[in-house]
Structure 1
Amino acid sequence: METREFLRKLREQTGMNRRQFAEYFDIPYRTVQEWELGNRRMPDYLLRLMVYKLKTERLIEEGAEERNQGA
């Protein structure tokens, strides 16, 4: 699964729209949009940090990212 698809599915699991997701992480909306559309590539470390934050704040369940990657 591509990073952009993984990010979109991760966001959808939280129940947030793009604007809410961007505000939650204090990232410009346009940046999140560009990542999801595949126009820009987000750093892998940032995606890992997002997953960690969402898990620790219990906005996604444990193991959710593995299911998204098809593992």
Structure 2
Amino acid sequence: MSTNNKIKELRAETSLTQEKFSQYYGVPKRTLENWETGRREPPSYIVRWLERLIDIDFKQ
């Protein structure tokens, strides 16, 4: 799975819109859009960071 798809999958797990997700995690909405559409590749450390935060915030 590409990191772009992983970002989209992580956001889906939260049930947040792109706008709400960007506000909640402090990621600019345009950046999130670029990651999800494949225009830009998110750094792997960001993907791991979001995975950890989502585990804490949404899976407990």
TM (norm. structure 2) is: 0.91
Segments of 5+ residues of structure 2 without an aligned counterpart are: none
- Bigger Rg, structure 1 or 2: 1
Q: Number of aligned pairs?
A: 60
Find the counterpart in structure 2 of residue 2 from structure 1: 2
Q: How much has 1:60 moved relative to structure 2? A: 3.4
Amino-acid identity (%): 28
SS in 1 for 2:27: coil
Q: Which has the higher helix share?
A: 2
Q: Which runs of 5+ in 1 are unaligned?
A: 62-71
Contact 1:4 1:37 in 2 (8 A): yes
1:14 matched residue in structure 2: 14
The 8 Å contact of residues 7 and 36 in structure 2, kept in 1 or not, is answered as yes
Question: CA RMSD, aligned part only?
Answer: 1.2
- By how many angstroms is 1:54 displaced? 1.1
